[in-house]
Structures are given as C-alpha cells and as structure tokens.
Amino acid sequence: MKDFSNLISAIEITNKTNAKIEALVHYFNTAPDKDKLWLIALFTGKRPSRPVKSNLMKEWCMELTKLPEWLFLESYSTVGDLGETFTLLLPNPKNTIEKPLHIWVDELINLKQKTDEEKKVYVLQAWNSLEAQERLIFNKLIGGSFRIGVSKKTLVNALAKLSGIDPNQIMHSIIGNWTPNSITFDDLLNGEHINYDKSKPYPFCLAYALEKDLTDLGNENDWQVEYKWDGIRGQIIKRKEEVFIWSRGEELVTQQFPELVAAISKFHNDFVIDGEILAVKDSAVLLFNDLQKRLNRKNVTKKLLEEVPVGFYVYDILELNDEDFRAQSMENRRVKLEQLFKENTTDILKLSEMIDFKNWNELDALRNDARSFNSEGLMLKRKTSIYHVGRKKGDWWKWKVDPLTIDVVMIYAQKGSGRRSSKYTDYTFAVKNQDHLVTVAKAYSGLTDKEITEISKWVNKNAIEKFGPVRTVKPVLVFEIAFEGIAYSKRHKSGVALRFPRIKRWRKDKTVKDIDTIESVKALIEN
C-alpha cells in the first residue's frame, strides 16, 4: 500500500503528463504483478462494489473521535469529500500494517459478506494502522473513486513506455471483460486474452468539436457527412454465434437490449459494428430522456419493450469474419458496411444516413434543423480516415447545433470535492413559477477560477440555511445556462429535465426579475 500511496502523491503534485507517466513507469517497474493489475483496474473504473455502507463508517468515525453529528457534518461540508473527512478527523495511528495493494483489495472484497460488527473490527484496525495518505486510499477503496488526473491515454502511454508494446494494442488489451484475478500482468499487456475473449470490443474512434470554418476543411468531396445522434454510443459484436453489446463507457449492456440481440443473432456473418443505441418508435428517434428508462435495468419487462423500443443506427464496421478493417479508409469501410446490410436485413438496425450535399453552404441549414427530429447536429468524417484509437484532430469533427439557453437564479450552493473542496462550485438554479421559484437545473462548470472565488465569498456572506454541505442563498445571482436538449419529466418538480446543463455566463447585468419563467422554459420543448 505504501508504494501505491507514494504513486498517488507523485501524480497529485504535478500537472505535467510526462511526470505522471514517469511516476507510473516507476511503479510498474517495482510493484508486484497483482498490484499492477489492480492499479490498471482501479484507474479504468473496475473498482469492486462497496463492501461497507457510508453511514456505518460515519458512525464509527464519530464514535472514535467523540464528535457530535452536527460537527461531523460541518467538517464534511467544509472538506467536501467523505473519505478525506474520515482521514482528517481520525486520531493518528498507533500501529503499523504492511500489506500490498492487492491483499487490501481482496480483503475488502471478502469483507462484503461479513457482519456489520466484523466489518467494524476490520475498518477500525485499518484506520489505526495506516498513515494519512494510506488511510485516504483505504477509504477510497471502500467507497470512492480514483479520479486523480490520470486519463486512460496517460495510463496506456506509461504501459507502452514500460513494455515497448504499441499503445493501440495495449488500449485494446485493457478495455473489456477481464479481472485482476483472471490474467497475469504480462498476458494483459501482450493481449494474450484478446483472441480468446469473444466479447472483446475495440477502442472507440472519437471526434473533436468543429473549431474552424467549413471552407478550411478543403474539398467537399473528401468528406462523408452524417447526422449526430444523442443516444448511447456502442459496439455490437457478433462472434461464433454469440452477441455482445458494449457502451462507450466500456460497460457490457447486452442484457438491457434483448431486441437488438435477437435481430443481430439472425445475421449470417461475424462482425463488430459501431453505432448509436437510440429510443426509436414509429420510425422516429425519441429523446434521450426516453432512452434513459431502458438503462441499467436488470429485467426488461414486456411493457417497457413496448413503451420504449430501441434501434441501432450503424456508423461503421470494424471487423468482418475475423478481419480487422480499422486500418482501411472510411470510404472502404462504408462499402463493406453497406454490403453487410444487403446480405442481412432488419428493421431494428439502420445504416446511418449519408447526407448528400454539393457545397459547404448547404450544411449550415441542415445542422440548424437537426434538433427538430432529435439529432444533435452533424458529423463530418474524412473519407480517407482510418478508425483511430481515441481522438485525432483533422479526421472526424462533430458540428453540433447551437445550445439552448435560459436565464436562471442561483438558490443553492455546495462546495466541490478534492482540490475544489474549499470553494462553492456546485450550484442549483431556479426559474419563476408564478409567485415563487422552482428548481430547474444543477451545474458546476463554465465559470473561471476568479468567478468561483468571488461567488464563494458571496455565499459565505449570504447563506440563509444549511443542509449538510448545501447552503441556501438569497435569490440574487443571475446566470445564463446552456443545455443540449429539454424534455418533460415527471421526476422533477419543475416538470422538465435539461440535457447537459452548464453555465454559459454570469449575468451581473440582470436581476431576479429578468429570469425566465417555467412557461417560457417549457415552450422550448414545443419549438
């Protein structure tokens, strides 16, 4: 654990990617293989399920420190992170335990089956035997995450530098269905499991937001243009009579979409296709809010299948009958994709429409009209482009419709976590509903550090009530927020749900009298 703790410290004190890579390489050169595997697992979202409830840990911490609940909650609201709060409040350790990372993780996995009293004995013993940074990591292993500024690309580059193996191959190896107990470190890096794991997806090719004039892209004939859809980006894999569906978040979501599995099972070939899972009814694409009703369901009922049927809009083909097509051009892959669909027909899967246009000027009107049928805008793909791993500037661009905007007033503020734990960075906004305010969105991005500091000082002076880490504030500060879409919602008091809300600007020139009404917000749905 000490080596892992030192690695976390080395990563957290620098913003330089090369320094993070050097720290990772050093760890991989010195740590036990099982620890290396668990580091990769933790940094790629494969953390074991929570073995101990947070409320129990809170009770044990207050018992040890003899703090009243109000003071614990006040500390938590100041720190902003529960695991860090425990770490700071607990007394210094009296003992020492030296165990590697993988032993700690295995013990925590087994702890889930224990009684609450047995869990308490184990946790208190750990708290009394670990230094502050190790204790924080222990708390994070139980219930937190490892978002410490290491992207998957940085991790892969460190592994590539360590091993000399191509980064693309390593990226392919570490995503997908593996566990630290099912493979060795060397076999993971060398991809020994890839050919034997029929479910293995490929790393997704991603696009950059368009940041230049269309005319700067060159000849129109060099580009393939499609609509951009707002669903779940996914890969459907059919190998040896089995079907697997992976989301872009590297989750296996096969069981959530049985109708897709049934349709794909009838195809004659083996293949890997890339596309978008969408809620589609009567040949019309529904809103993402409708698709959300189908997500994370262990059992998909017949009623839900009928209410929210799904489809798959296919963008690309990556593999056909064991042949990897990713290094071929976009143009050639499209020919292969169209051939696959000529040989196999289904109503549930639909080829992404290629937009026919003569010059760049025609595309702006098409993009502006995209929201009318629940598209996010346009995708522009260079016909000669290969299927890259991740993002590569110049080949794929996403040109989204301009966001919707409304003016709102802040009514709640909450401190951030980690490095932002000392300032109020998370805000809840409201609009007018006759003679009172109704919450309409939460947002935490879009402001400068200077603005966040100014708002935090204002919140400290103007807070009305405290609810744990949340502060109710006077409805004075007005903001313009932007969002991608809007839909009616029974789950929200306002009756609406906004898609990807974020702060566009702080409107110091406006007062609460100038904010939008719930009626004007709902009117955006009809428009």
d(CA 452, CA 459): 10
Count of CB atoms within 10 A of residue 427's CB? 25
Q: Would residue 228 show up in a list of annotated catalytic residues for this protein? A: yes
Cα–Cα separations (whole angstroms), residue 180 to 42, 203, 239: 10, 20, 24
d(CA 482, CA 504): 6
d(CA 200, CA 364): 38
Which residues, other chains included, contact 131 with Cβ-Cβ below 8 Å and sequence gap of 6+? 5, 93
Per-residue burial over 1-21, b if 16 or more Cβ lie within 10 Å, else e, is beebbbbbebbbeeeeeeebb
Q: Which residue is catalytic, options 228, 238, 381, 400?
A: 228
Pairing between β-strand 284-285 and β-strand 271-281 as defined by DSSP bridges: antiparallel
Assign residue 126 a region (left: φ > 0; alpha: ψ between -120 and 50; beta: otherwise). Answer: alpha
Phi, psi of 279 (to 5 degrees): -80, 120
**CA nearest neighbour of 459 among 420, 504, 427:** 427
Please report how many Cα atoms fall inside a 13 Å half-sphere around the Cα of residue 76, on the Cβ side: 20
What value, to the nearest 5°, has the Cα angle with vertex 130 and ends 127 and 135? 70
Phi, psi of 387 (to 5 degrees): -90, 95
Phi, psi of 282 (to 5 degrees): 55, 40
- Written as one string, the DSSP assignment of 350-410 is EEPPBPP-SSTHHHHHHHHTGGGGTEEEEEEEETT----SEE-TTTEEEEEPPPEEEEEEE
* Active-site amino acid positions: 228
